[in-house]
Structure 1
């Protein structure tokens, strides 16, 4: 529900709480009230149709309100209608009051819809003025429009001069009718040249200033008009929110209304003045040649001096209601559409150029090069098809080789698939080499017991001990024989013992290397799942990145939109804080109408942005704080509400 809908619902509820005071003291000499008469039923039906509900359509359209006013027969085609009783007159007042509340909602919506887009146009001119590049681009974009406007002015001026020349020549000399076409065209050509020269002298500024400087000056002027339009419209919005339809309190402890219960005519005067106020705001909100204070003075002065409002005091209840209905019909049918047309015209004249003006250069370049582009596509059709086919094959191979296969290997690792185990050496290689080393050492010890053990023979227990030590990496018998042969290497070489011990040590080195490799192999097997995920990570990262890009480019951008909404919410809160900071001063406790209107616009935008960003229960509290921020309670109260919004909802709005 929007801010305007909440306002309409609140005002409609206040109207429903106003009691029928005159019926309490009803005069028995008058005609009795017929509650079942067709007139009463029609009025009750229209009142019910004009009442705001808690649904999605609190504010009716202008055509619906006009239709309901016509159905109420308060605007008869022939003559005036007079109510038969006070009850009917009271119902008519309730009807026009509810129609006024609905019209009030339409006017607020109209002003909000005109104020909010102005920021985009102002930001566009900021971009143009902030960069010489953008200023030059704007000059190029608007050059055809400038040329057309200048040519049109020259043509109109030359045509007017030529017609004056023809008229004067015809009256002075009848023979001018027989003048040749060539002479007439020559005269027209000379008039055009004179017009161009005179306009060049008039627009001497264009010769002094560069085209870019002229464009910047034009952009600065348009931006100033848009800012003035936003300020005046915001001031009008603030005036309507603060002054229109102010019925007083919301209710007392008895459940009854405390809205002007002492004077039954006072709330009717509020309705009448509110209509005048809306009418004056719509008429004067687009006057850009006055200041904000002058605009506000003109609005309030116009309400006080309104001739119809001053004449209503002498009318009876039914005639007053009929006049109010007629004025509402005129406001909805004439003043409001005229305001919308004028506002749209001002925005079109001073806002950013249309898409046709901004993009005519690339569109023209694309149109002129379309045949060349088409010819390139036709001539390179086969290459383009091959490129597309290769791209598809590359994508498929990447998917299977870097995503599917690594996933399959990880699954195999988790399931202890023997085919997927990591191994840098065969399983039985270490055992075979170790057994071979044992046999070599034992055979050497048996063949050379004296060199190996220092004894003439080797027993079975010594052989078993040698085998056990070899398994632990101890080849002391070989080293002892090797050290002995090194004393006489030539003799050991000839005898063969030195070479044999060297070869056994080579086998020992091989076994040591395989033991080290076995340790590394065991370490790799213990971390096999980690390596599987490491191999899968590049493919997953690339796939996720491509998926996110395609998701953002082709649709499904919910999270991205939420991020953008959060960023916009922060900007809106910054604008509200800036408005409150600039308006805060020791002498001012209440916001001016202009600043209040701007805050209402920002709150209206914030309500739309924050919808669906916050949980349902949190959103209710958020809307309450926004109402405190938008209400006319004082700068201090609004600043505290803004601070509360900052710390309470930063989790969702940051």
Structure 2
């Protein structure tokens, strides 16, 4: 998270640094033309060089050295009664150092506020995730149960000591507990608040829990009213017992809601301060551009930072600009960060420690693991049988449903020219036999010459048996005579042969039709196996690849964060209809911008137009010179340009992070 906030602040103040380049270039030219004999100038040059490398330094030492040098020069002139330096080189160096000090201090203040916003938002999202899920609430209650019991024991011990009562088992009776730790309606006892500390601040929420007065006030019992029937008493007691059983869950959920709201208030408070400070960039830029830039022109911006810090810290207001800057780098910034962390810890707003979250797994994990291993060992025979059967099923599926059908498809493709019903050679032999029979009849009875025989051969090849049919028509005029001594039988047998040839040709056509559909039937047979294999492989791939989030553009989870960040930006801009956005809106915008920039830096392809264009749009959103209407246009452009590419609509439809 620190990388993202530093990147955001660095981009935000980059424009200020560019505005300060003109005096820096003048300093560089002056130094190159003159000697470095003056020790004061050398110190200024050294300090300026150390500040020039820093946007947000990890240590305030360089900034403190620069301020101390400026203070020493100022005090020296006051003591000696000297006017400001008339040496143009030294004056330019002092102004350049003051420029960089102002930018660095401004950057540090932005960085601190943005980091606290991000921390509060991160913790708030964790509590929100716990609150949304009943299983997470129960798991959180289990995780924090030891610490709650320790607080309860400590409270019980302190109560006995306060009343000078020895600790024994008799004190655990309900009547003794009511006397020692009394409670009234909607005012839980100290024992309950030791288990759920948030009730100190939000005990009024207990009014939403039915029959809770029975748990806190023993005087309001059904037996105290003689007009109640047995059924009503039993129903009331059953409802009270049910409420009592549900009470830990409801109070735990209320605790998560309370902490989430507290963190949301802290985030909004820091966002307002962040926005107020971000809107000072324009004034600071104008101050740096002013030719007569001095400490007095810088004072309004410094006073804004001082006012923000003094709301939390115990720093004393100062009149002078340089002492205020020195106090920021020496104590104020550090105290501001420490008090923020101390407040979160004292109010227990941070998520539980890693050990607290892991102890159920560390304690319950080994016994469950040993029990599972033991059960598996005792059931090893049936497990081996199950493994063998699974292997046979898998092998049968792969061989009988996948490999064999695929081999059939390959065999069909390889042997597609072979006939199935009738062979090509058989059809050709029947055709040649018909041709010879027709030519022999024409040669014996029609006295055809060689040319006529060739013509008849072509006719037979074309399926035309007109000469043979004419001879048959003449023979059937006297069938008995033609059958005994004529050509009736020969013409009849030729027609039988012609019918056989026609049947062979029809079967050949059917064979070709079946052959053309054989691949279709083969693929239909193998399609179910391919469908099952595709679904299985896709599911395994989602488990192995999707679970690690190594999908395109960071995966669904990260793209969902982009979706919600852009949605929040648009919602803020729609609700804020003013020309210039408010301080809180500006701070929340900067917070969302930091999240979008983090996403782009981590998950978008490097050196790509996608990343470059996305970051350009994000930088437009954080530009304080743009009003609410212009920023809404930028958001619309981002939805139009990147919504489809990043699949934000699909993420919203799938309900990720609900």
TM-score interval (norm. to shorter): 0.5 to 0.7
| CA positional deviation for 1:497 | 7.1
Partner of 1:68: 62
Q: Distance in 2 between matches of 1:341 and 1:195?
A: 35
SS of 2:289's partner is coil
Report the equivalent of 1:583: 576
Mean CA deviation greater in 152-161 or 630-639: 152-161
Identify which of 456, 459, 474 aligns with 2:464: 474
Counterpart pick for 1:602 among 589, 592, 613: 592
Counterpart residue number, 1:627: 619
Query: Are the counterparts in 1 of residues 600 and 615 from structure 2 also a CA contact under 8 Å?
Result: no
Q: After superposition, give the CA deviation of every residue in 1:382-434 in whole Å (9 maximum; x if it has no partner).
A: 55775787699679869994899799899xx8xxxxx6654335453432232
Decide which of 627, 631, 636 is 1:638's aligned counterpart. Answer: 631
- Unaligned runs of at least 5 residues, structure 1: 22-32, 129-133, 170-183, 251-256, 285-301, 313-319, 414-418, 450-454
Consecutive unaligned residues of structure 2, counting only runs of 5 or more, are: 1-5, 27-33, 78-84, 189-211, 216-239, 648-658
In structure 2, the CA distance between the partners of 1:37 and 1:274, relative to structure 1 (3 Å rule), is farther
Partner of 1:101: 106
Correspondent of 1:258 among 260, 282, 289: 289
Q: Distance in 2 between matches of 1:234 and 1:73?
A: 28
The residue that corresponds to 2:431 in the other structure is 434
Whether the aligned pair in 1 keeps the contact of 2:275 and 2:584 (CA below 8 Å) is: yes
Tell me the equivalent position of 2:236.
Answer: none
Distance 1:234 1:435, change over 3 A: same
| SS of equivalent residue, structure 1 residue 607 | helix
TM-score (norm 1): 0.65
CA distance in 1, matches of 2:474, 2:96: 128
Match of 2:654 in 1: none
- Quickly say closer, same or farther: Cα 1:399–1:392, change in 2 above 3 A: same
Contact 2:276 2:583 in 1 (8 A): yes
User: 1:592–1:359: structure 2 CA closer, same or farther, 3 Å change rule?
Assistant: farther
TM-superposed CA distance for 1:5, in Å, is 0.9
Give the alignment of 1:127-526 within 5 angstroms: 128=132, 134-135=133-134, 137-144=135-142, 148=146, 151-163=149-161, 167=164, 185-190=168-173, 194=177, 203=188, 204-205=212-213, 207=215, 209=243, 210-211=246-247, 213-243=250-280, 246-249=283-286, 258-259=289-290, 261-262=291-292, 264-270=294-300, 272-280=302-310, 283=312, 307-310=316-319, 312=320, 321=322, 324-343=325-344, 348-349=349-350, 355-356=357-358, 366-367=368-369, 369-375=371-377, 378-379=380-381, 382-383=384-385, 386=388, 401=403, 421-425=416-420, 426-442=423-439, 463-475=453-465, 477=468, 481=472, 500=493, 503-517=496-510, 520=513, 524=516
- Structure 1 residue 7 corresponds to structure 2 residue 15: no
Deviates more, 1:39-48 or 1:394-403: 394-403
Contact 1:567 1:653 in 2 (8 A): no
User: Matches of 1:95 and 1:220 in 2, distance apart?
Assistant: 44
Partner of 2:49: 48
Residue 189 to residue 618, structure 1, CA distance change in 2 (3 Å): closer
Q: Quick one: structure 1 residues 96 and 398, their matched pair in 2 at CA, closer, same or farther if it must change by over 3 Å?
A: farther
Alignment check: 8 A CA contact 1:235 1:594 kept: yes
Query: Structure 1's 148 and 473: CA in aligned 2 closer, same or farther, altered over 3 A?
Result: same
* Partner Cα distance (1:369, 1:409) in 2: 54
Contact 2:284/2:298, CA 8 A, preserved across alignment: no
Q: Assess if the C-alpha contact under 8 Å between 1:486 and 1:492 holds in 2.
A: no
Partner of 1:288: none
Q: Which of 56, 69, 79 is the aligned partner of 1:59?
A: 56
> How far apart in 2 are the matches of 1:404 and 1:337?
70
Which deviations, in whole Å up to 9, do the C-alpha atoms of 1:42-83 show, x marking residues without a partner? Answer: 443333222356xxxx4322xx22x335666939xxx99986
The CA RMSD measured in Å over matched residues stands at: 5.5
Shift of 1:625: 3.8
The separation in 2 between residues aligned to 1:113 and 1:223, in whole angstroms, is 14
- 1:179 aligned residue: none
Structure 1 residues 554-565: aligned runs within 5 Å: 554-555=544-545, 560-561=552-553, 564=556
Give 1:590 deviation, angstroms: 2.1
Q: Tell me the SS of whatever aligns to 1:432.
A: helix
- Any idea what the Cα deviations from partners look like across 1:340-379, whole Å, max 9, x if unmatched? 4534666745799975489799958944742345426744
The whole-number CA distance in structure 1 between the counterparts of 2:214 and 2:606 is 55
Asked if the contact 1:569–1:653 (Cα under 8 Å) also holds between the matched residues in 2, the reply is no
Structure 2 Cα separation of the partners of residues 432 and 344 of structure 1 = 101
Deviations 1:318-349 (A, max 9, x none): xx645632431213433213324534666745
- Give the deviation of 1:236 after TM superposition: 2.1
Inter-CA distance 513–578: structure 2 relative to 1 (3 Å threshold): same
- CA gap 1:593/1:368 in 2 versus in 1, 3 angstroms: farther
Contact 1:234 1:597 in 2 (8 A): yes
Distance in 2 (alpha carbons) for counterparts of 1:445 and 1:642? 95
Distance (whole Å) between structure 1 residues aligned to residue 390 and residue 351 of structure 2:
48
C-alpha distance in 1, partners of 2:527/2:552? 25
Is the CA contact (8 Å cut-off) linking 1:478 and 1:501 kept in structure 2? no
Quickly say closer, same or farther: Cα 1:231–1:59, change in 2 above 3 A. Answer: same
- Residue matched to 1:315: none
Contact 1:122 1:223 in 2 (8 A): yes
